[in-house]
Amino acid sequence: MGKTNSEITPETKIGTLLDRFPKLEKTFLEMAPEFKKLRNPVLKKTIARVTSLRQASTIAKIPLAEIINKLRSEAGIQEEFMTDEAVVSPSKESPAWFSPSDIVQSLDARPMLEKGEQPINKVLAGCKNLNAGEIYELTTPFLPAPLIDNAQKQGFLVWAKEEDERVFKIYITPKTR
């Protein structure tokens, strides 16, 4: 049976994609500078297993359809993926709930990520201890789409802002304020 378009979808995890289509690794890694980090075997085993193509498009600021169609084409899948989804991007304007004085916990995850460690569990555990009105601040070298999705699914409000090209600040607070 031939390959089907359902093997490369917005929810396909990068690790699953690369397991099913090893020849796509080079194509994927060359799509964006952010993806080159997956050359690190530790990050490939951790981040690639939890990050979907939808989340990767957010991280790299590349339209989801562009990523999927390029990968499908390279895999020999004829059917084109079409969507009108916009890439989620950080906002410079702070939400009404944000105040720097409400930040009670901070984590600079850059050293952890450089060592190949995954900060998601530490961040979410810290967020669960927040009281109404308190904010958790996270600093990362890229937009952590899987963490943002997870926090939102757990009932948190999240705001992301790009400080500069390699520094993102993510602010997380309980929805009940």
Per CATH, 5-75 and 100-174 having the same topology is answered no
- Average the pLDDT over 40-63 and give the result: 87
Q: Among positive and negative, which fits the CA dihedral 138, 142, 147, 149?
A: positive
User: Under DSSP, is residue 160 helix (H, G, I), strand (E, B) or coil?
Assistant: strand
Q: Can you give the pTM of this predicted structure?
A: 0.63
The percentage of the chain sitting over the pLDDT mark of 70, rounded to a whole number, equals: 92
pLDDT band at residue 149 using 50, 70 and 90 as cut-offs:
confident
Domain definitions of the chain by residue range? 5-75, 100-174
Domain boundaries 100-174, corresponding CATH code: 3.30.110
* Per-residue model confidence (pLDDT) at position 1: 42
pLDDT band at residue 85 using 50, 70 and 90 as cut-offs:
low
Does CATH place domain 5-75 in 1.10.3910.10? yes
pLDDT higher for 106 or 86?
106
- Average the pLDDT over 130-154 and give the result: 90
**Spatial distance between the Cα atoms of 161 and 167, rounded to a whole number of angstroms:** 9
- Average the pLDDT over 17-25 and give the result: 94
Helices (H), 2-157: 14-20, 25-30, 41-50, 53-60, 64-75, 110-114, 120-128, 145-153
